[in-house]
Amino acid sequence: MAALPTQPAAAQESAPPSGAGGAPPPPRRGVLRALGRDPGAVLSAAYILLVVAMAVFAPLIVRMSGWGPYEFDQTAVNPDLGGVPFGGWGGAGGEHWFGVEPGSGRDIFARIVYGARVSMLIALAATALTTLLGVVFGLLAGFFGGKVDWVISRVMDFLMAFPALIFMIAILSALPAGNRAVLLVVVISLFGWPYLARIVRGQTMSLARREFVEAARASGAGRATIVFREILPNLRSTIIVMTTLAVPGYIGTEAGLSFLGVGVVPPTPSWGQMIASSVSWYSVVPTYFAIPGAFLFLLVLSFTVLGDRLRAVLDPQGVR
Amino acid sequence: MKSPVLIRAAVAAATAALALSACSGGGAAGNGGNDAGGGAFTDTPERGGTVTMLQNADFSYLDPARGFDGGVNNFYRLVYRTLTTPAPGNSDDPSEIVPDLATDLGTPSEDGLSWTFTLKEGVRFEDGTPITSADVKFGVSRSWDPEIGIGSPYARQVIDAPEGYEGPYRSGPLDTIETPDARTIVFHLKEPFPEFGSVVSQNSFVPFPEGSGAGDAFINDIIASGPYTLDSYSPGSSIKLVRNDEWDPETDDVREAYPDAWEFVIGLDVATIDERMLAGQGADANAIALTIQPATLARIQTPQLQERKLELPGVCTTYMGLNTTKEPFDDVRVRQAVNLAVDRAAVQNASGGTQLADIATTILPPAVGGYREYDLYPSEEHQGDVEAARALLEEAGLPDGFDMTLDIRSQPKMQAQAEAVQQALDRVGIDVELNVIDTSTYYETIGTPALQHDAAITGWCPDWASSASTFLPPLFDGRNITDQGNSNLAQINDEGINARIDEIRAMTDLEAANEQWGLLDEEIMELAPVVPLAFESTITLPGENVTGLYSSPGAASGGIDLVLVGLRDPERG
Amino acid sequence: MARFLIARLSGVVLILLLVCLFTFGVFFVLSPDPAVQICGKNCTPELIERIRTNLGLDEPLLAQFFSFLGGLFAGRTYGVGESATHCAAPCLGYSFQSSQPVWDMIMDRLPVTATLAVGAAVLWLLAGVAGGLLGALREGTWWDRGAMVVALSGISVPNYVFALVLQYVLVVELEWLPFPGTVTFAEDPGGWFQNYLMPWIVLAFAYASVYARLTRANVIDTLSENYVRTARAKGLPRHQVIRRHALRPALTPIATVFGMDFAGLLGGALITETVFGLNGVGKMTADSISRNDQPVIMGVTLLAAFFVVVGNVVIDLLYTALDPRVRVNSA
């Protein structure tokens, strides 16, 4: 997990939030206000919004900065010294804001901006898919119990016993390059959902025995109604917290897989792949790894902090 | 000049071209090279000590019937001998083939169909038994074994063998090779092959005692005929060699064998190797390594490191094959347009810049016999002639360009090269999709026409550098296109080219043949089945106690010729 | 207890079998034909066919799976006749690319990985628990905040980025440490320690951070539990309360997580070893992946799964021994 969190790091340490079962979730406005008073949460949210904006408006931003993510600038690198960028700080300056990639002279700023697209897209898609699978299977197992529970629980045991990272790399390297982004999402989600499902299952089990569920059942409500009207709303805060805490893990996993060369296909920029190609240059052009490294670190940090604070607000009795 | 000492190529034009490419190299050229250091790399070593070689990848196989690549060929020369072998790197013409176990380069019969070689006296295996013609025969017959003979294909291609022969372990002795006495061996060929004297320099001609080497016997062990033998081998991490006392230097004009022992340290990260070579501390003063990373170039600008910098010219061509069976590459104008549009300067930078790669406009590299300089698709600074390319595309009815898929290997440098090609072709509307293929299956995939896409980037090195006969025919003879293991990536089958290949191959005068190969190179490029991109060279920082460093185009694919390496002071380190 | 053990162990065997089958099936479908890889550059269709027959690659999936399982317990022989190769039990497969049984390859490199793993585990346990205790016992102070900020960074920084930063600072800028090389303990203990120091720190950092947060939360939790309050009310000194009553239950979950993490360490080792060029199982796996050496990848996957599954059982057993609350329940 240290390397490539396949399960959200913080999720592992969190016992199921104990508040989720009883009290109705706090009103949304209250949550936002509470978070707004927390400087850490505000800064994190601001940075996440910045990255999202970068991803969404990438073409516009790049038009402003003047260089596309794929454009070679041979005049910015020194062909006689192995393609090292001219000038200090990796060739940073008015022309190339963050400098250029050694060898090709591609603009690092543009590649960071476009790399944000890849990172966010894959992480968010994987989170969505994981959440869907985790909630559905967790609910099924928790609500129906018996054989359904047994089968789902064994599948979860099986997936969690798997050396996920090694297996993900192996699968991705063996598969044809085709659409790596989709593959990444599928593979990450496949090994990610049990961690959410396990918690959803536990809470569903305890909720299903609660009085208000019994009452609904007694009043003749159908299974679907009970699940969607009574149980799911009570799981909301758990799902929100778990999901926020899962995103940084997936961002890290995508970057890590790209770092190991089994992520997105070149020349598509991705932060992990940028860091990978900077490894051999780290002592000559430190900015080449420092810039994508810092962007990646801050994004993961922001999601972690935000998730932490969300949990504190949504679940005051839970683990601090 | 880049490294004039190392390249005294047969053809004078080669040197001229090197001078030209060195000019484009700018200020960096002239600092390194062999003369600059006052012969620092070419001092005569002392006998004794251990030379270490740091490398990333393990050798393919210890068994010479199996291994077949530049790295392992070089290693084999330390432990094995063949009838002939490439001349040592310090000879006047290191591209030429010289006798090794044999007394000469062989005598063909009148009709050119049988070749007779005589073994030297006093040549022995490591256990002291004399090497006989029967051992040579047995060794070469191993290359017909379907599971063992996966290395050099030339013996099978050229020597006549009974239908269905499958090597000595399955089919018994190969009767088409005669051994009238212990020192004479006669080969019968399928058809005349004037360069057969070079064929017997291939690894597959290493002698072995009859009956040895079945199955996996030579996977972890060897039977040495050269100056060293295996001391220990742990796959993927180290190989240690010690002297083979039965090797008689009197019988060997090629190998100097200065050090008492060799140690190959394998599995090191390329960056780690560079760091250790830069530092050159302790035992690493006795170490050599393959080429440095482009990033390291910027760090060797100090005078001390510049003095240790050794530049070796490349003998391989990095090129992009255009699949002529697929639209629109069946149209010669489109192929020419791609040749015009490619930005070779960008590819050069992607390969490590001017110090690590020269721009290729010909198929043959300068170090291979037959090289002749020309540039059919010129452009300013080699950055591509977009206008001319557009005009040709328009003529071909593709004014807006087209989409194509380029097969590449999942290896950073090759991806960088492919991205440079992609970016350059984008300028004329050609949209290139990169198909990244795993390293282990890359050559199998692109060598299978059914799996090949529109184009592929790959490289080719000569199997012997004295002529272009292992360069142009494998790549452009249309009659050799096979369903698997195909090397004619362009799948070009042009009667004109085929006829010229036959004509030149039949020439018995090597020099005249080489002149014709050079002309054929240009004739092929008029049809533009491939896009020559770069000749990648080597820069390395040998430890300061190491000397006797020469390049061998034939034995080492341009790398350091191991058989001449030794230490200045064997007591050090 | 015995019934619990039997049920648990049969579950383990079942999961391991499933992991085997799943891994085998996936590789069977996905990976390139090993016969083609063995065949090399100058291959012919007949040659491929022969290799396939010799190695039993033309058999159906299940038949191949059972010969693989058989090899695991009794060893097996690849190929027939003169060119046969025996792979002794436990045969995890045979790498045709490096002509070695996978088991031997793993065992060759295990010492490096074990050194890395044990050193890092010691480091992260010490640093994590100490940092967590510091935070919990000084809750709300600057010590607490400082420790938690470091922990948060540790969770967020990808370890390859951290490795590069560390290497840049310690090796390139400050020159405190040499560039990591290959030094064995026997050759030079000091050099060996210096050599492993950065890899240990890198591998340990993220785990230590998680442990610090976990320890802090658990200790704070336990301290507020009734029995601890009672103990304090009885007048026991604070350090005794902490040592006797709070620490043990607070650290039990740590033991659980530690078992899981240690068993699943191969993933982290893969990147750390690759970045620092340590020739361990992780780097071998990365290399095998880039060469697509399928038997090795499969062997390592199975071994890693084995560690995780067995690790889980050991934790369960330890858990009963460690936590007084659980012990009371099961008694």
Q: What is the pLDDT of residues A279-302, one digit of tens each?
A: 888 888 888 889 999 999 999 999
Using the beta-carbon criterion (under 8 Å), do A277 and B412 form an inter-chain contact? yes
Would you call B206 helix, strand, or coil by DSSP?
coil
Would you call B228 helix, strand, or coil by DSSP?
strand
Whether the CB-CB separation of B115 and B106 falls below 8 Å is answered with yes
To the nearest 10°, report the CA torsion of A214, A218, A224, A227. -10
Which two tokens mark B571? 């007591």
One-letter identity of residue C186: A
Q: Measure the CA–CA gap between A90 and C269, rounded to whole angstroms.
A: 31
**Which residues partner with B289 through β-bridges?**
B54
User: For the segment C279-302, what is each residue's pLDDT rounded down to a tens digit?
Assistant: 889 888 888 877 777 788 888 888
Pairing of strands B357-359, B530-536: antiparallel
Would you call C314 helix, strand, or coil by DSSP?
helix
CB pairs under 8 A between B and C: 105
Which two tokens mark A135? 């909630």
CA B312 → CA B32, B256, B292, B537, B554, distances in Å? 10, 20, 12, 6, 13
User: For the segment C194-210, what is each residue's pLDDT rounded down to a tens digit?
Assistant: 888 999 999 999 889 88
Q: Of the ranges B19-33, B165-179, B180-194, B487-501, which one carries the lowest mean pLDDT score? A: B19-33
HSE-CB at A54 with a 13 A cutoff on CA atoms is 21
Q: Measure the CA–CA gap between A177 and A264, rounded to whole angstroms.
A: 8
Question: C22 to chain A: which residues are within 8 Å by CB?
Answer: 158
Using the beta-carbon criterion (under 8 Å), do A103 and B435 form an inter-chain contact? no
Question: C43 to chain B: which residues are within 8 Å by CB?
Answer: 150, 444, 484-485
DSSP letter string over B480-501? G--SSS---TT----HHHHHHH
pLDDT recorded at residue C98:
73
Distance of CA C6 to the CA centre of its chain: 26
Beta strands (DSSP E) in chain C are 76-78, 85-87, 94-95, 100-101
Q: Measure the CA–CA gap between B371 and B516, rounded to whole angstroms.
A: 10
The answer, for B153 touching chain C at a CB cutoff of 8 Å, is yes
| Nearest Cα to Cα of residue C167 among A289, A283, B267 | A283
Q: Measure the CA–CA gap between C35 and C41, rounded to whole angstroms.
A: 12
Using the beta-carbon criterion (under 8 Å), do B293 and A102 form an inter-chain contact? no
Q: What is the mean predicted confidence (pLDDT) over A156-166? A: 80
Q: What is the mean predicted confidence (pLDDT) over C238-250? A: 74
User: For the segment C92-125, what is each residue's pLDDT rounded down to a tens digit?
Assistant: 888 877 777 888 889 888 888 999 999 999 999 9
Q: Measure the CA–CA gap between B28 and B35, rounded to whole angstroms.
A: 15
Question: Can you list the domains of chain C with their CATH numbers?
Answer: 32-91 (no CATH), 102-326 (1.10.3720.10)
Q: What is the mean predicted confidence (pLDDT) over C212-218? A: 85
> Which residue in A79, A84, A280 is closest to B271 by CB distance?
A280
DSSP state of B44: P
Put simply, the chain C residues between 1 and 60 with a CB less than 8 A from any chain A CB are 11, 15, 18-19, 22-23, 26-27, 30-32
pLDDT recorded at residue B239:
94
Would you call B58 helix, strand, or coil by DSSP?
coil
Q: What is the mean predicted confidence (pLDDT) over B284-292? A: 91
pLDDT recorded at residue B26:
30
Q: Measure the CA–CA gap between A8 and A1, rounded to whole angstroms.
A: 8
How many Å lie between the alpha carbon of A269 and the closest alpha carbon of chain C? 17
One-letter identity of residue A248: P
Q: B17 pLDDT exceeds 50?
A: no
DSSP letter string over chain A? --SS-SS-HHHHHPPPPGGGSSSPPPPHHHHHHHHHT-HHHHHHHHHHHHHHHHHHTHHHHHHHHS--SS---GGGEEGGGTTEESSSGGG-SSSSTT-B-TTT--BHHHHHHHHHHHHHHHHHHHHHHHHHHHHHHHHHHHHH-HHHHHHHHHHHHHHHHS-HHHHHHHHHHHS-STTHHHHHHHHHHHHHHHHHHHHHHHHHHHHHTSHHHHHHHHTT--HHHIIIIIIHHHHHHHHHHHHHHHHHHHHHHHHHHHHTT-SSPTTS--HHHHHHHHGGGTTT-HHHHHHHHHHHHHHHHHHHHHHHHHHHHH-TTS--
Which two tokens mark C276? 């620092």
| pLDDT cut 70: percent of chain A above it | 88
Q: What is the mean predicted confidence (pLDDT) over C237-265? A: 76
| Nearest Cα to Cα of residue B113 among B155, B157, B160 | B160
Beta strands (DSSP E) in C71-204 are 76-78, 85-87, 94-95, 100-101
**Which residues partner with B119 through β-bridges?**
B102
Percent helix / strand / coil, chain C, rounded to 5: 75, 5, 20
The residue ranking higher by pLDDT, A244 or B174, is B174
User: For the segment B117-156, what is each residue's pLDDT rounded down to a tens digit?
Assistant: 999 999 999 999 999 999 999 999 999 987 788 788 889 9
Residue C261's φ and ψ, nearest 5 degrees, are: -65, -45
CA A76 → CA A105, B349, B482, B534, distances in Å? 6, 11, 45, 21
Using the beta-carbon criterion (under 8 Å), do C27 and A305 form an inter-chain contact? no
Which two tokens mark A259? 């770092």
How many Å lie between the alpha carbon of A95 and the closest alpha carbon of chain B? 19
| Nearest Cα to Cα of residue B145 among B214, B196, B69, B205 | B214
Q: Measure the CA–CA gap between B269 and B54, rounded to whole angstroms.
A: 10
The answer, for B297 touching chain C at a CB cutoff of 8 Å, is no
The answer, for A173 touching chain C at a CB cutoff of 8 Å, is yes
pLDDT recorded at residue C298:
83
User: For the segment B405-443, what is each residue's pLDDT rounded down to a tens digit?
Assistant: 999 988 888 989 999 999 999 999 999 998 888 776 788
Q: Measure the CA–CA gap between C54 and C51, rounded to whole angstroms.
A: 5
Residue C162's φ and ψ, nearest 5 degrees, are: -60, -40
How many Å lie between the alpha carbon of A86 and the closest alpha carbon of chain C? 21
Question: A82 to chain B: which residues are within 8 Å by CB?
Answer: 293-298, 352-353, 355-356
Q: Measure the CA–CA gap between B294 and B298, rounded to whole angstroms.
A: 8
pLDDT recorded at residue C42:
56
How many Å lie between the alpha carbon of A181 and the closest alpha carbon of chain C? 18
Which two tokens mark C31? 């990976």
pLDDT recorded at residue C320:
66
Q: C55 pLDDT exceeds 80?
A: no
Whether the CB-CB separation of B65 and B149 falls below 8 Å is answered with yes
Q: Measure the CA–CA gap between A101 and B383, rounded to whole angstroms.
A: 19
Looking up tokens 């510091």 gives: C134
Q: Measure the CA–CA gap between B232 and A198, rounded to whole angstroms.
A: 52
